[in-house]
Structure 1
Amino acid sequence: MTSVDDLFKKPGIPSGSLKRKLEVPDAQEAYKATKVSSGSSPNGNHSNGATVEDENDDDVEAGPELPPDEDDDEEGRFFGTGMTKDTAEALDYIDQQEEETYEPEKIDSVWLRRLITGFEKKVNKNAELRARYEGDPAKFMDSEADLDAEIKSWSLLSEHPELYVEFAESGSVSNLIGLLAHENTDIAIGAIEIISELLDEDVQAEQEQWDALVAALLDADLLELLMSNLKRLDEENESDRSGVYHSLAVLENLASQQSVAEKIGQEKVLLWLCNRIKEPERPLGQNKQYAAEVLQVLLQNSQPIRKRLATDLDGVDLFLRLLAAYRKRDPPKDSHEEEYSENVFDALTCVVDEQEGKSKFVEAEGVELCLIMLKEGTKNICQRALRVLDHAVAGQGSASAAVCEKVVEAAGLKTIFSLFMKRSDSATVEHVLGMFSSLLRLLPGDSAARIRTLSKFTEKQYEKTSKLIELRKEYARRIAVVDKDIRKEQSTLPDDEIEQRAAEWLSRRLDGGLFSLQTIDIILAWLVAEDQVVKAKVAESLGDDGTQQIKSSLEDQKNGLEDGNAEDEDTREMLDTLMTFL
């Protein structure tokens, strides 16, 4: 996903040609205009009104009369230096002060306590004046302006996260959160902006400091007041639109931590986000796009939220209806709508990872919509629809099997195998291989859907199987190059550093195509178990030890599984069964 700093840029500033410029007069031209009299020209020629007497009068000077000597003006106000004695002394004093070195204000606990005290006084004063002069706003407007300025002063705290714990333990957190319910929405928006700054991902806070602040904010009922405030903001108003944006920023920053995501993923938040992303807009605005992004972050970081969205809010059907608009077209390039559609696709992908989401996906005809996108959509939409299908058929259980059966029933095999035979990028190949693996694993052994799937690998003289074997050889070559480089590095390192870099080397092997290679080996193992012709082709293309290479790959995958995990135990049993056929 595109980064957040690039996604949410402020509106561009109008170009200079559209902005009125201040016209500054040219001092030199003004001086020339006064020096040349109405009876002369800059070229030395006489004007129409010049006389001979003028020409012969050597005592006459052009231009304005010279100023009198400075001594002629008792106060010296207009000539000479052009300023009074008091003004000159004042400027001299300023110059002296500028030459002195000032130490910047020290930001520490003392500063924080002073800020807290001043803030609480402003809050209390404004509340008192509002209560006393409820019907006369003029009498509390000054205190409101002071309070607004005091709120902005908290911005400096975001540069000093070492004070977060102390701030969290003070009563000012409750006072700051309480301002979200202030009658003046500008005050509420100002408080939201400060909270957004304090939680921003760019703040260099330690986890302990961040956790302390978040706990204090949530204890002060941040979510409830934030959601209540969102209901009264009107995005037709620029200031209110900014308030919605910063509210979404607060939710995003909280959702980025998995431990907090589940706390804030309450039904009110999810419902508001779902309602916001389905509001029609032309052109699609930044806040709608941001709401989709926040929703996607929440779903990505929390399994309970994914299940809640699927079962309680019917989110799968909502996502499919929103994405149906792109089944034959791409959103405008580099627009908020493009990012919005990507976030909705990602959100749907997260939800169909869960069994509840898979069931809703089948009910809402999500398989059919994705297959239409594969056949009629643009390259970008096709790739995203394929990714959704890959996640929907993956996993274990009856819901995953139901998606696989629906793919075959909806005539999806022809579409998917056509994609496989085309020259495609690595991401497309990876998703297609993932779907093949899921279909072979989950479709019942004697079902018509499984027989139709197997027949696709055998038709046209096993051309799909032959391509699988060629792909395996290609990925094996890539991995061999990576492994050679890794062994070379390992030969020069001590044992403890080899252990430390194990994750890095695994990542490099995955980048080289390890996952696709392992998926192909599982597919070939299933085909060998079903058809002896495939076993002969493997031996013919990969050598007499071809099946042994596949068996070693399955053994490596088995060794990488975790003990005690139910899904991994099922996978281990499947791998053991496949190895018996090899």
Structure 2
Amino acid sequence: MAHRAAPTAILQAAISKFEERSDGVSGLPQFMAAPRFAGARPGYYFGRGASGVGYYLDSKQAAPAEGEADDDAGAAAAAAARARARHVDAGELLREAEEAAGDAGMEMLDAKGLKRLTLQLERKYNSNLEARMRYADQPDKFMESEADLDEAVKALLVVASAPDLYPELVANTSALQTLLALLNHENSDVAADAVEVLQELTDSDAVEDAEEEAEVLVDALLEADALQLLVHRLSAFDEKASSEEASAVYNILAIIENMIDLKPSVAEDVVEQTKLMKWLLGRLRPRDTDSNKQYASEILAILVQQSDANKRKLAASGGMDAVLQAIAPYRNRDPESTEEEELLENLVDVLASCLLLEENKSVFVEAEGVELLLLILRGKRLARTSALKCLDFATTRCPPACDRVVDQAGLKTLFAIFMGKLKVPKKKRDEASTAGEEEERTVSVIASLLLNCSKQSRRDRVAAKFVEAEFEKCDRLMEVYLRYEGRVAAEEARLAEAEEEQEEDVLLARMDAGLYTLQQCALIVGALWLVGDVGVRKRVLRLLHQQSHTVGSLRSVLLEYRANLGDDGPGGAEERARQVERATQMLLAMGHDPAEDEAAAKEAAAAAGGAANGGAAEGGGAAAAAAAPAAEGDDMELEEAEEGGKGGKAAAPAVPAEADMDVEEGEEKPPQPREERRGGEGERRRSRSRSKERRKEKERRRSRSRDKKRGSSRERRKERSRSRDREGRRRSDRSRSVERRTRDQRSRSPRGRR
């Protein structure tokens, strides 16, 4: 059998023994200060220690007895004793403890020793049970048997060092049944010791290398209704009565966590079969924070992360409101300890996990969760990043939450964070999440507002923010977009050099580099493009051109986003169709030609040998590549269309009537050829015809634009000439008026009269 590390109790016993041995010499001082060595002193050694420099009492040396010998003999005896003595340091003490525990450890690993311990527990348990029944009214007569029972329970702690004996413990002993029965013992100390033994047996460190044996133990506990017994005892312990009972509560929570680690299905079973969820939510209510409250929040987070059924039950039982009330104190203050910081993180994890279910979002909105998160965002506290995370989860595909953000004046706070104007103080920010996470969360929330608000008026309020202060928010948006585009491009180059072949791994690597935030930025630009503000469009194009980019780069990102939309999320195929339609509207508004999608799909299908799935997967990238050569021409067309727009609205392609966003009527599409031919030759001819028509239309637009500019120039010159004439007349009138006033003054003065 493999030798395992000795339990902590053995090492503590060795340390206590050493301390007793060190303090056993009586009548002599433990330390005598001396700045320098002044000769040998019997029973002491000179050195620097915890008390400073001087002579320290050495228990290995024998102190001289009175009248034992003369000074020379005493000095010789002391020298001999020092020669035999040695100073015991911490490392040597640990080795001695391990050696002392070696024999005991070998005994613990023995099946015979396990049998002896379990039989001893049975005898002590039966003896105590009999004494309690016989002397029910005389506690002093069964106290001794109770103390023996407590020692027998603690003796089972050594079994945790031998998890390979767990099958033997389950199959050939009744120790588990006895320990579970002791959970209902009237003496809370005995019950607490039984809980401690179960916690040690299931501890992750003890079963790290013996998972199969540990699963046998967990299965046996589940068959014996351990979950019900543990949760029942959880409510019976009084944490305020003693520290032992508070520790027992902590150990019960640890047992449940250990069982979930070994068997994840326990997370759903314990919520379904017991009242653990109710107890955990109640434990969050007290204002004071301690280790048990923090651990309760951690267990609650584990439960909701493991099961959707647990998420639903928490929301249905009023748990959403309880979690929000537990978070509420941190809108005005920061966590004061590490325990409070962990508590806040756990509560945020609980809230974020529950918001993954669409039905829970309505409960969150009704509980005024959006208002609480906005208060936290305005408070410049450590909880701000956590609040942004929850707000991001809440506004994703949830129009009521998005409407509430706009109606509760959340745009001002949200865009202040987006612009970096609402900063957390440095002394607090060092311990908070990085600014990058806040940036990504804010971009995601803004995209959700533009895409999910139920009314166009609210979407217009969000879009109007990008026009304020000389389009500063447009500048910030494109700065973020270009930065993340560079990150993703760098990661793609690295993956190309590494020759990564797994498509899923490539996608995950690109997502880690910032692909999601890049797509959200492109969606924001697309939504703004649909609004049709000429100033925003020109600003975006100018910023792209400054970095040698075109609107084609935005279209490429949107094409990939549309191609990778799946129907396995909330809403299924219906939600996917809505998102595809919305992305298509944005692409059309940016000048994307739908014919390019068809051509790209056919090319991809041909390259894949006619496999339809392969063609669909490659459609987005091929279409982006086909659109790239004509990107600059598209930009020119967009700019010319904007210059010819009326009322501040640029022309945009027509979209279906059932679209969820209001857009302007689009330009006429180029006329299609009369002959519809099959095969590649017909397709190429139609493509060339469309290209010719586009070039002619472009020349007509340029001609109209030049004529308009010439006419505008002539009008401006005439206006300037008329302005100069009017200014000249005003000046001449003023000069004549001054001359008249001067003559009048002179005529009225005495000198003038003379």
Q: TM above 0.5, one fold?
A: yes
In structure 2, the residue matched to 1:384 is 386
Task: Give the structure 1 partner of residue 156 of structure 2.
Answer: 154
Measure, in 2, the Cα distance between the counterparts of 1:183 and 1:337. Answer: 34
* Matched residue type, 1:242: S
Q: Which moved more, 1:181-190 or 1:164-173?
A: 164-173
Contact 1:255 1:301 in 2 (8 A): no
**Contact 1:526 / 1:578 at 8 angstroms: preserved in 2?**
no
Cα displacement string for residues 437-494 of structure 1 (whole angstroms, at most 9, x for unaligned residues): 22122213x4321221222233334332332122111111122222323322238xxx
Cα distance, 1:330 vs structure 2: 0.6
Task: Report the TM-score, using the length of structure 2 for normalisation.
Answer: 0.58
Residues 113-132 of structure 1: pairs in structure 2 closer than 5 A? 113-132=115-134
Residue in 1 that maps onto 2:737: none
Maintained 8 Å contact 1:227/1:268: yes
The answer on whether the counterparts of 2:358 and 2:570 sit within 8 Å (CA) in structure 1 is no
Tell me how far apart the structure 2 counterparts of residues 434 and 388 of structure 1 sit (CA, whole Å).
Answer: 12
Contact 1:329 1:377 in 2 (8 A): no
Structure 1 pair 467–131 and aligned structure 2 pair: CA distance change class (3 A): same
**Residue 25 (structure 1) shift:** 4.1
Opposite residue 127 of structure 1, the aligned amino acid is L
Distance 1:560 1:306, change over 3 A: same
Mapped pair 1:244 → 2:265: no
Residue in 2 that maps onto 1:319: 323
Give the CA deviation at 1:109: 5.1
CA contact under 8 A between 1:348 and 1:388: conserved in structure 2?
yes
Q: 1:530 to 1:156 in 2, by over 3 A?
A: farther
- State the superposition RMSD in angstroms: 3.6
Question: Which residue matches 2:401?
Answer: 403
Are 2:236 and 1:232 aligned? yes
CA distance in 1, matches of 2:549, 2:349: 41
**Which AA in structure 2 matches 1:360?**
V
SS at match of 2:314: helix
Give the number of aligned pairs: 487
User: Aligned to 1:457, what secondary structure does the other structure show?
Assistant: coil
Structure 2 residue 438 is matched with structure 1 residue 428: yes
Instruction: Return the letter of the residue paired with 1:528.
Output: W
User: Counterparts of 1:524 and 1:166 in 2: how far apart (Å)?
Assistant: 66
Q: Does 1:439 align with 2:449?
A: yes
Residue type matched to 1:321 in 2? Q
Q: Decide whether the 8 Å contact of 2:108 with 2:114 is kept in 1.
A: no
The aligned runs of 1:180-329 (5 Å cut-off) are 180-202=183-205, 203-205=207-209, 207-236=211-240, 237-256=242-261, 258-266=264-272, 268-281=275-288, 284-312=289-317, 314-329=318-333
Q: 1:201 to 1:536 in 2, by over 3 A?
A: farther
What SS does the corresponding residue of 2:383 show, helix, strand or coil? helix
Change (3 A) 1:66 1:431: closer
Q: Corresponding residue for 1:145? A: 147
Q: What is aligned with 2:552?
A: 548
* Residues 327 and 344 in structure 2, CA contact (< 8 A), matched pair in contact too: yes
Compute the displacement of 1:137 (Å): 3.6
Q: Whole-Å Cα distance in 1 between the matches of residues 484 and 236 of structure 2?
A: 57
Q: 1:555 to 1:111 in 2, by over 3 A?
A: farther
**Aligned partner of 2:180 among 164, 177, 181:** 177
Instruction: Identify if the C-alpha distance between structure 1 residues 464 and 572 changes in structure 2 by more than 3 Å, giving closer, same or farther.
Output: farther
1:350 aligns with 2:353: yes
Task: Kindly indicate whether the alpha-carbon contact (under 8 Å) linking 1:162 and 1:205 is maintained by their aligned counterparts in 2.
Answer: no
Partner in structure 1 of residue 414 of structure 2: 416
Q: Aligned in 2, Cα 1:430/1:190: closer, same or farther, shift over 3 Å? A: same
Taking a change above 3 Å as real, the CA distance of residues 172 and 547 of structure 1, as seen in their structure-2 partners, is farther
Whether the 8 Å CA contact 1:475–1:516 is kept in 2: the answer is yes
1:458 has 2:467 as partner: yes
The 5 A counterparts of 1:456-495 are 456-490=465-499
Q: Deviations over 1:390-430 (max 9, x none)?
A: 11112x3xxx2111111111011111111111167111011
RCO (CA 8 Å, sep 6+): is it higher in 1 or 2?
Answer: 1
Distance 1:127 1:477, change over 3 A: same
For residue 24 of structure 1, report the CA deviation from its aligned partner.
Answer: 5.1
Pair 421,177 (structure 1): closer, same or farther in 2 beyond 3 Å = same
Q: Where does the alignment leave 5 or more consecutive residues of structure 1 unmatched? A: 1-18, 34-62, 68-80, 82-97, 492-497
Letter of the structure 2 residue corresponding to residue 413 of structure 1: L
C-alpha distance 125-412 of structure 1, shift in aligned 2 (>3 A): same
Whether the 8 Å contact between 2:159 and 2:201 is mirrored in structure 1 is yes
Give distance in 2, aligned partners of 1:199 and 1:302: 22
SS of residue in 2 equivalent to 1:129: helix
CA distance in 2, matches of 1:289, 1:28: 43
SS at match of 2:465: helix
Aligned ranges 1:470-549 → 2 under 5 Å: 470-490=479-499, 498-499=501-502, 503=505, 506-531=507-532, 533=534, 534=536, 536-542=538-544, 546-549=550-553
For the 8 Å contact 1:521–1:550, the answer to whether it is kept is yes
Q: CA deviation at 1:32?
A: 9.7
Which whole-Å CA distance do the structure 2 matches of 1:538 and 1:280 have between them?
A: 50
Distance 1:164 1:486 in 2: 48
Matching of residues 558-569 of structure 1 within 5 Å: 558-562=562-566, 564-565=568-569, 567=571, 569=573
For the structure 1 residues 213 and 473, does the alpha-carbon distance in structure 2 shift closer, same or farther, using more than 3 Å as the test? same
Judged with a 3 Å threshold, the aligned counterparts in structure 2 of structure 1 residues 354 and 206 are, in CA distance, closer, same or farther, namely: farther
The whole-number CA distance in structure 1 between the counterparts of 2:314 and 2:526 is 37
Structure 1 match to 2:136 = 134
Taking the aligned partners of 1:559 and 1:165, their CA distance within structure 2 comes to 53
CA distance in 2, matches of 1:563, 1:319: 31
Say whether the 8 Å CA contact 2:471–2:539 is kept in structure 1: no
* Aligned partner letter, 1:104: M
Q: Work out the CA distance in 2 between the residues paired with 1:411 and 1:119.
A: 67
- 2:569 and 2:326 map into 1 onto residues whose CA distance is 36
Whole-angstrom CA distance in 2 between matches of 1:561 and 1:28: 77
Q: Does the 8 Å CA contact 1:439/1:450 hold for their aligned counterparts?
A: yes
Cα drift, residue 502 of structure 1 = 5.7
> Is there any run of 5+ residues in structure 2 with no aligned partner, and where?
1-18, 33-39, 43-65, 71-80, 82-98, 424-434, 588-754
Contact 1:254 1:264 (C-alpha < 8 Å) held by counterparts: no
Counterpart code for 1:519: Q
Q: Work out whether residues 161 and 204 of structure 1, in 8 Å CA contact, stay in contact via their aligned partners in 2.
A: no
Larger radius of gyration: 2
Report the equivalent of 2:671: none
The residue matched to 1:182 in structure 2 has which SS? coil
The answer for the alignment partner of 1:335 in structure 2 is 338
Structure 1 residue 181: Cα displacement: 0.7
Matched residue type, 2:275: K
TM-score normalised over the length of structure 1? 0.74
Deviation at 1:347, TM superposition (A): 2.1
